Amino acid sequence: MKTIVQRKRIIIQPGDHAVIRDERSDKRVQRSARSLFIHIAEGARLSYIDLQQLADTASELTVMTVLMDAHSAFSYEGLHRGARYAKTVINLVLQGEGAGAQLNAGLLATGMQQYSFITTQHHRAPRAKSSCIVRTAVYDAACVQYYGSIDVDEQAQLSEAYQQQKAMLMSDQARAFAKPSLSIRAHDVQCGHGSAIGQLDEEHRLYLQGRGIDHDAAKQLLIRSFFDELYTDGVLQQIMAGVKNLNKSPIPLL
């Protein structure tokens, strides 16, 4: 049994481009608490690839704060499919004019897993853009909660912020909750949010079966298409393509 406590500070210097791949798949880890502070300086870019595949008996808490200067860019692609209890908090602070952030996260919850995913898009400066897309597939008696907020300060005119959450319930006992919120103090902005929780589309499944695809393969194809728009990273695309019957053996990031 291992316990991990981490506190990291990451600074991307002006004009630099960086890619960070963050994988947790050590099955010996039972408790993990992580605090990440990321500062992206003016004109810099960061792509953050996040893969959580801890043991199904583990618990994890992650708090990530991303501070963005003028004309910086941040993209996050995450896949969470391990741990018994997992809470992830991502705070995006767009403090520089023209900053841009894209957050795409996928959660696969099975058994008795309980996930809590929390995002904040805080616009402090004009002409910044942020987008948050979360996709969840919930199986068995698992439970997933999502809380997302968009907060636009008075001086952050001409901001654009978007948030969308969709959850697919794969059993009668599966549960999902979502609470999006907006706090807008600027008068010239474009902001919106959407949330949907439902079950697998049986008409689509029957259509695929009518084309000669068996029940399990049709179901898996629909699940994969549900997550497809999230990932541009080739490794995460390969992982989703290779998930069969939600086999949770760890797959390393390259």
How much is the mean pLDDT over the chain? 89
The yes-or-no verdict on residue 247 having pLDDT over 90 is: no
Q: Among residues of the chain, what percentage have pLDDT more than 90? A: 74
Confidence at residue 198, expressed as pLDDT on a 0 to 100 scale? 87
Section 17-33 average pLDDT: 95
Confidence at residue 241, expressed as pLDDT on a 0 to 100 scale? 61
CB 129 within 8 Å of CB 96:
no
The yes-or-no verdict on residue 18 having pLDDT over 90 is: yes
Name which of 76, 65, 73, 2 is nearest 38 in CA terms.
65
Confidence at residue 222, expressed as pLDDT on a 0 to 100 scale? 75
The yes-or-no verdict on residue 190 having pLDDT over 60 is: yes
Return d(Cα 127, Cα 189) in angstroms, integer: 9
- pLDDT band of residue 231 (cuts 50, 70, 90) is confident
Q: Could you report how far apart the first and last alpha carbons of the chain are, in Å? A: 26
Residues β-bridged to residue 78: 50, 105
Section 138-166 average pLDDT: 97
Of the two residues 25 and 158, the one the predictor is more confident about is 158
Name which of 237, 232, 234 is nearest 76 in CA terms.
232
Residue 158 main-chain phi, psi, to 5 deg: 60, 25
Name which of 152, 143, 137 is nearest 227 in CA terms.
137
Section 25-35 average pLDDT: 95
